[in-house]
Amino acid sequence: HAIRNRWHRLQARGEGEKSFLTNCLQTANWLAKSLDQRARTILKVAVEIVRRQEAFFEEGVSALRPMTLRMVADEIGMHESTVSRVAAGKHLACERGIFDLRWFFTQALAATDGGEAHSATAIRDRIRDLILAEDPRKTLSDDRLMAILRNDGVDIARRTVAKYREGMNIPSSVQRRRLKSAAAS
């Protein structure tokens, strides 16, 4: 708007100045349209994430659903790479905290009964909770954690349990037992 006002004041000036100001006005208009388009794209992606992960916002991490970039891209009519770029470095603030948009994209683990798949992030959270609640004298092995999760309907291998546990920097059951008995002494 300021450029237009200046344009009108300088109309009597030379053609070089008019050309320069016209170019500046076109660039400013292009920038404003680009920023508006970017904001609308970010909003589309965020709204779809919230729609698909509604249970998370109501119940917490345990209710997080598997979701891929492709699912969101297909739903909002954009390319998967566009959704990936839009989610990069963006955060969503809600009552549960501030989350990187990419955090909501999580792999699926099959259900043992063929039902709805489980989110890998929700499974990691469940493993952490089980370990935090374990009896210090009877730490849960990866095999035992696998059995508990399978009993809860998650089709998971012992090696995947170990990988998730290690990824959260949680020691093995033997190491946890030693640490907890040393702390009790």
pLDDT tens-place values along the chain, 185 residues long: 565 666 565 555 667 777 888 898 899 999 999 999 999 999 999 999 999 999 999 999 989 999 999 999 999 999 999 999 999 999 999 999 999 999 999 888 888 877 788 999 999 999 999 999 998 888 999 999 999 999 988 999 999 999 999 999 999 999 998 888 787 76
Largest CA distance in the chain: 90
The predicted pLDDT at position 128 comes to 95
Pull the structure tokens for residue 44: 């589309």
Gap between the Cα atoms of 42 and 45, Å rounded: 5
Of 81, 38, 61, whose CA–CA distance to 123 is shortest? 61
The predicted pLDDT at position 69 comes to 93
Per-residue burial over 10-21, b = 16 or more CB atoms within 10 Å of its CB, e = otherwise: eeeeeeeeeeeb
The predicted pLDDT at position 34 comes to 95
The predicted pLDDT at position 111 comes to 84
pTM summary value: 0.72
The predicted pLDDT at position 5 comes to 62
Q: Rounded to 5 degrees, what are φ and ψ at 72?
A: -65, -45
Gap between the Cα atoms of 50 and 33, Å rounded: 26
The predicted pLDDT at position 4 comes to 60
